[in-house]
Amino acid sequence: MLWSKIENQSKMLGAILTRNHLTIATAESCTGGGIAYAITEIAGSSAYFNQSWVTYSNQAKQTQLGVSAGTLEQFGAVSSQTVAEMAQGVYKNSGANLAIVTSGIAGPGGATPDKPVGLVHFGFLFNPVNSISNSESQVLTSHHVFSGDRKQVRDQAISYALEKAIEIANNSEQKII
């Protein structure tokens, strides 16, 4: 049932991106490419989907997206600081207008006292004019603790990421017009 919602969210996001001639790219850790999968399930997504990374390990976050070792050491992979750097890396490496990134603990293991199973951090970077030096681009971060088993946590995180991306694209659409 949640995948029906995810499909509808993907269609809605695609329509907004298409209408405004925008592109999207993702980097995912705990969602394992699920956001990219959902977006590219929609026919015509090649018009707006640029590329994706699954950066499950800290090493991949560093080498593929430029996340600093210091950030990972100080804050950990599951943190707003890490997803902010991941989002910047997606943007710098893809040039897409909208970057969506995730890092979290899907479970069943991996929790700490400060970071429970189900905790997912999200990063979003939106730059409508696609200019690396554009001062309008900023990284928005959020986090949420989802309940359920590993699959349920991942699916809820995918849906949440798409919903937030729709909100960002809708809000920016009014600025573009």
Contact 41, 10 (CB under 8 A): yes
pLDDT given at position 135: 45
25 neighbors 99 (Cβ within 8 angstroms): yes
**Contact status, residue 159 vs residue 2, Cβ threshold 8 Å:** yes
pLDDT of residue 52: 99
* Spans of the chain, pLDDT less than 70: 130-137, 173-177
In this structure, CATH architecture of domain 2-175: Alpha-Beta Complex (3.90)
Give the pLDDT of residue 138: 83
Residue 1: its pLDDT value, please? 77
Q: What is the pLDDT of residue 177?
A: 40
Q: What is the 3-state secondary structure (H, E, C) of the chain?
A: CHHHHHHHHHHHHHHHHHHCCCCEEEEECCCCCHHHHHHHCCCCHHHCEEEEEECCCHHHHHHHHCCCHHHHHHHCCCCHHHHHHHHHHHHHHHCCCEEEEEEECCCCCCCCCCCCCCEEEEEEEECCCCCCCCCCCEEEEEEEECCCCHHHHHHHHHHHHHHHHHHHHHHHHHHHC
